[in-house]
Amino acid sequence: MNCKSFLLLGLALAAVACGQPPQKTSDIPVYLDDAQPLEARVDDAFSRMTLDEKIAMVHAQSKFSSPGVPRLGIPEVWCTDGPHGIRAEVLWDEWDQAGWTNDSITAFPALSGLAATWDRELSRLYGKSIGEEARYRNKTVLLGPGVNIYRFPLNGRNFEYMGEDPYLAGEMVVPYVEGVQSNGVAVCVKHFALNNSEANRHVANTIVDDRTLYEIYLPAFKAAVQKGHAWSVMAAYNLYNNQYLCSNEVLLDKILRKEWGFDGVVISDWGGVHNTLQTAKHGVDLEYGSWTDGLTMGKTNAYDSYYLADPYKEAIRKGEIGTEELDARVKRILRLIFRTGMDRNRPFGSQASPEHYAAARKIGAESIVLLKNEGGLLPIVGNPGKILVVGENAVKMMTVGGGSSSLKAKLEVSPLDGIKARWPEAEVVWERGYVGDTGGEYNGVTTGQDLRESRSAEKLVADAVKAAEGADYVIFIGGLNKSDHQDSEGLDRIQYGLPYGQDDVIEALAAVTKRLIVVNISGNAVAMPWVEQVPAILQDWYLGTQAGHSLADVLSGDVNPSGRLPFTIPISYADNPVQTEAQYPGVPRDSTIDGMPILDMEYTEGIYVGYRWYDIHGGVLFPFGHGLSYTTFEYGDPHIDRHITTEDGSVEVTVPVTNTGRVTGSEVVQLYISDVEASVPRPMKELKGFAKVTLQPGETAVVTFTIDKDALSFFDARQHVWVAEKGSFRALIAASAKDVKGTVEFTLK
């Protein structure tokens, strides 16, 4: 039975129950007829609703759902975390697990890893796959992806985002959005906007100039909305212009809805709404997770006390606000429902399928970045003899924890198990090396691992060093984890260096073997004081279900590494652009807003975020866009076919790239633009294009980039327009932000 038939049957039964004759097919209301235009269906359904039904639709009825209109057969809206996999089911009013036995899913790589693939088609595969899992569980909205900019390396939630560059994040988010929504499931792009740290996220008022806002922090959201056609967006917790993001007139009304033409639903982050009137006028369409009037978070009797519930209706009754804003948000919610739950052509989806495992493995392998490979230590070929694996992260499950992206994975292959599976003939030995986090529980999901340790730190190091004697390869697998003050929601990191004394372990191993490979698992840059002592270094990520297999694929050369850094790794924390208290964590003020104490966080670094900063100030260990391969590539001279002759014209830059090595590999060719004659301060260069090409040994491909006005423009805050000034520009073809292969100049006349 299709969706239309089911709804008609339901309406017919309801009519019979009320003593009315059932409807005939010819009497189908417009809103139930999916052959009708979307807006006609929205208008028709809206015209049939009462004020109480409208008010009910704009706030939650449970932890993750809001009502539809039962009388009209319009279904509920069901949301789910998160961007890396579908969250386990929780109780109606609580965060605790519901105890289902069929909600174990595929854990996909964290979005920092997806961004590191620099591969738009892999992003589409990711979105399609995770969308199928959301659809299988009949979810309306997937709460992701996240595209907040990597502003500095202590943000605990950087692992959920797509790096430091707005162009890269914008290009990678669009196919993800399209892939998810092809399943009739809405994405919810988050966290809009300026949510670039976790400390004080509920009370931080961001102070940022308009040019920085438009050039750095909005482009990825704009791409998701205008190019990806995202159906929903999540408003952030923090403040901007002294207004909470869930009721922010500038970001939600003026920019998102009016400038960008967004016709979807804005959803609050859970507990992000703080008032009724301001939110009713300029704020979110759907309020989730609030706790009001002294009621504890998540109790059933709290829902009618939400800011957009009874207080909203009372404000309308008193004439404090009209119904125009309510009507608009209800129509947006109806539009979302017709695009998702009431689309009878919605595919069925699937969960934890072989296809999804294969997708996770492929994305994971192509995300891993080979940072260093001195002497060609990697790949490990043939029978490697004895492999010593050192480090807690070689065995620790990483799918549990980290905040709302925590998952209940049906399978998680550890790095150690992946290595053992790839080299069954080898002697693979594991030593712990250090003790990090012995826990493994989040909201009732547990890893089942017992990681308790009785040996001292000194003994652990000594045992690892002794085991390294005679090993053909020593692979240290460490980094961060999903614990508090590491890669985790709600709290930021408290140090740039590796925790748990890992540096001591690495240096001790480097002193006794020249065949040491360090694998750093994290969603953030970390200090590497031992970098000169270690011949091979890999940047790995939280890769989910197939983590161990993805890593083994790269270590063995079964997959030639092609990942590239989506952020800069500075030498030390002192080298990054965020240094003062005013920049982070902010300066407390004496006054409050909506009864909350507020601190001001100033983005005084302006547009100089990531490589834009390091290009001027230095301090780079591994640059943005960096990544090595098991083969070599040679770039020819870039060529422009013609000069720009009009303001709206464009030019094509071409460059030949040849695989000069012995194995097939993929190169990420990067295009940066430099404005030579700018009238305003501009970065030395900015990423404006990239292409990932796979080449056989000896094969050459000609890579073409189109440079248009958008690639040349800066945001003129005074005129509130994007401006491309006439004059000289340079197109830089590069393998990273520091490895420029060729430059060609052109003129905008």
Give the model's pLDDT for residue 87: 96
User: Model confidence over 353-367: pLDDT tens digits?
Assistant: 999 999 999 999 999
* Range with top average pLDDT, 4-8, 526-530, 641-645: 526-530
CB 143 within 8 A of CB 234: yes
Q: Are residues 109 and 38 in the same domain?
A: yes
User: Model confidence over 296-346: pLDDT tens digits?
Assistant: 665 667 899 999 999 999 999 999 999 999 999 999 999 999 999 999 999
C-alpha–C-alpha distance, residues 600 and 588, integer Å? 6
Structural domain includes residue 606: no
pLDDT at 22 over 70: no
Q: Are residues 324 and 406 in the same domain?
A: no
Residue 249 host element (H or E): none
pLDDT confidence of 21, banded at 50, 70, 90?
Answer: very low
pLDDT at 8 over 60: no
Over range 51-75, report the average pLDDT: 96
Q: Are residues 551 and 675 in the same domain?
A: no
Q: Are residues 1 and 42 in the same domain?
A: no
Q: Are residues 16 and 91 in the same domain?
A: no
Give the model's pLDDT for residue 93: 86
Q: Are residues 653 and 508 in the same domain?
A: no
Q: Are residues 504 and 402 in the same domain?
A: yes
Q: Are residues 179 and 71 in the same domain?
A: yes
User: Model confidence over 472-512: pLDDT tens digits?
Assistant: 999 999 999 999 999 999 999 999 999 999 999 999 999 99
Q: Are residues 539 and 673 in the same domain?
A: no
Structural domain includes residue 563: no
Which is more confident, 444 or 346? 346
Tell me the CATH number at 316.
Answer: 3.20.20.300
Give the model's pLDDT for residue 1: 44
Q: Are residues 285 and 334 in the same domain?
A: yes
Give the model's pLDDT for residue 675: 96
Structural domain includes residue 354: no
- Bridge partners, 383 (sequence order): none
C-alpha–C-alpha distance, residues 163 and 112, integer Å? 6
Over range 248-275, report the average pLDDT: 97
User: Model confidence over 167-180: pLDDT tens digits?
Assistant: 999 999 999 999 99
Average per-residue pLDDT for the chain: 94
Q: Are residues 7 and 45 in the same domain?
A: no
Q: Are residues 88 and 50 in the same domain?
A: yes
Which residue out of 103, 269, 492, 553 is catalytically annotated? Answer: 269
Give the model's pLDDT for residue 14: 41
269: annotated active-site residue:
yes
Structural domain includes residue 592: no
Give the model's pLDDT for residue 62: 92
Give the model's pLDDT for residue 402: 92
pLDDT confidence of 26, banded at 50, 70, 90?
Answer: low
Domain coverage including residue 739: 623-748
Give the model's pLDDT for residue 647: 53
pLDDT at 559 over 60: yes
Nearest in space to 681 (alpha carbons), one of 200, 215, 57, 60: 215
Give the model's pLDDT for residue 150: 98
CB 559 within 8 A of CB 539: no
- Bridge partners, 654 (sequence order): 639, 704
Structural domain includes residue 614: no
Give the model's pLDDT for residue 94: 85
**Phi, psi of 716, deg, nearest 5:** -90, 100
pLDDT at 45 over 90: yes
